[in-house]
Amino acid sequence: DTEVTQTPKHLVMGMTNKKSLKCEQHMGHRAMYWYKQKAKKPPELMFVYSYEKLSINESVPSRFSPECPNSSLLNLHLHALQPEDSALYLCASSQGQGMSPLHFGNGTRLTVT
C-alpha cells in the first residue's frame, strides 16, 4: 500500500468544468510534487512545493493551479482543460528536496472530453 494517497482514482471532465485533484501524506514530508504522465512516456515534473511554498513551476499553463493548504495536503485545481491534458497525474512527497527518496501515489487518471 502506498503512503501517498490520491483522490479520485479516475476523473472524467468536460472542457468547461472545474475540478480538483487531491493528494495526502502523513509521513511528515516537507516537499510535495505534481507530475504528469502521458501513455508510454516517463513522468514529467509540473510543480514542487517545499515547506508549503511553491518552489518550482515547470512553465505549466495557468489552467492548472496548485495549492498546498498544509504540510500534508496538496491540491491541483483544474479549469478549462483541453483533451490533450488527459493523462495520469502523479503526486509524490519526500523528506526534503535534497537526498531523500520520492514516494509516489497511485495517481489520478484524468480524461478530458
Partner 1 sequence: KQEVTQIPAALSVPEGENLVLNCSFTDSAIYNLQWFRQDPGKGLTSLLLIQSSQREQTSGRLNASLDKSSGRSTLYIAASQPGDSATYLCAVRRGGTALIFGKGTTLSVSS
Q: C-beta of 9: minimal distance to partner 1 in Å? A: 10
Q: Which of residues 56-95 bind partner 1 (CB under 8 A)?
A: 56, 88, 90, 92
Q: C-beta of 10: minimal distance to partner 1 in Å? A: 10
What b-and-e string marks burial along 90-103, b requiring 16 or more CB atoms within 10 Å of the CB? bbbbbeeeeeeebb
d(CA 82, CA 96): 33
Q: C-beta of 98: minimal distance to partner 1 in Å? A: 6
Region binding partner 1 by CB under 8 A among candidate stretches 15-23, 48-56, 65-73, 77-85: 48-56
- What does 48-94 look like in DSSP terms, one character per residue? EEETTEEEEE-S--TTEEEEEEETTEEEEEEES--GGG-EEEEEEEE
Region binding partner 1 by CB under 8 A among candidate stretches 17-25, 65-73, 77-85, 103-111: 103-111
Cell of 35: 507530475
Q: Which residues bind partner 1 (CB under 8 A)?
A: 2, 4, 6, 33, 41-45, 48, 55-56, 88, 90, 92, 97-99, 101-107, 109
